[in-house]
Amino acid sequence: MKNPFIRSIAGLAMAASLAVTPLLASAQDKPLKIGVTAGPHAQILEVVKEQAAKQGVTIQIIEFTDYVQPNAALAAGDLDMNSYQHQPYLDNANKDRGYKLVSVGKTVIFPIGIYSKKIKSLADFPVGGKFSLPNDPTNGGRALLLLQDQGLIKLRPEAGLKATPIDVIENPKKIKFIELDAAQLPRSLDDVDAAAVNTNFALEAGLKPGRDTIALESPNSPYANVLVVREKDKADPRIVKFVAIYQSPATREFIVKKYENAVVPAF
């Protein structure tokens, strides 16, 4: 005769296992909440959302109108991921606010470009010519790094991403740097030999990256935007799967066709 106590224990164990199974399934079925800023980041994610659904990953897109709240919401656990910032911005946020957020993959870059109404190539930049660039540390540094990549200047290595004109140590063409508010740079093209202009301000002025630029920031720039999660979640299978879906050929094709060099895949 079987011991009724053993039978009851076995029954409890089976009931417990049955109770756990739905919990595990529901954890996997929960939608990934992803914060984005309005515009291209949100538009791209809508396309990725459709692809993810076909692979069993449900996405909930949450739009923000500022650059502070998406990281705050992610750190607080209200989001699973965000997609709107480049690595230098994330590094500063972690440093200033004590977040433990990490990037798990690159998305796109909004390239800064060099435009001119007077020359067709940077090789033709005149000695003593004028070059206008953004007066904020982040974008000014990007412009100078682009000039360095094109071989026109050399910067102090320790200047890093926040280089300014005082960090220029070699300037064979004796370029005169004019620092302006980023929004004013397209208007400066009549008065300078070339200007570095952010994509958003270029588009507003009717300038098109790739078509009108004489130099364009590389997709390998440190200012490529990234997918960001809490450090403890970076190995979550849903996160890993989502990154692969985002960085798929289908996503790349959409970005290339939709934005025509105004937004460039960085993966």
The CATH number of the domain holding residue 165 is 3.40.190.10
List the domain range (segments joined by +) for residue 99: 30-110+222-265
CA angle 58/62/68 to nearest 5° reads 135
Same domain, 142 and 211: yes
DSSP letters of 191-244? TSSEEEE-HHHHHHTT--TTTTEEEE--TTSTT-EEEEEEGGGTT-HHHHHHHH
DSSP letters of 69-121? HHHHHHHTTS-SEEEEEEHHHHHHHHHHH---EEEEEE-EE---EEE-SS-SS
Mean pLDDT in each 10-residue stretch from start to end of the chain (267 residues)?
Answer: 47 47 55 96 97 96 95 98 96 96 97 97 98 93 96 96 96 98 96 96 92 94 95 97 98 96 94
Q: How many domains does the chain have?
A: 2
Residue 158 domain-assigned (yes or no): yes
CA angle 99/74/254 to nearest 5° reads 120
Same domain, 144 and 200: yes
Same domain, 133 and 203: yes
Residue 14 domain-assigned (yes or no): no
Report CA Rg, the chain. Answer: 25
H/E stretch holding 130: strand 130-134
Same domain, 119 and 189: yes
d(CA 227, CA 235): 13
Same domain, 62 and 182: no
Residue 75 near residue 102 (C-beta atoms within 8 A): no
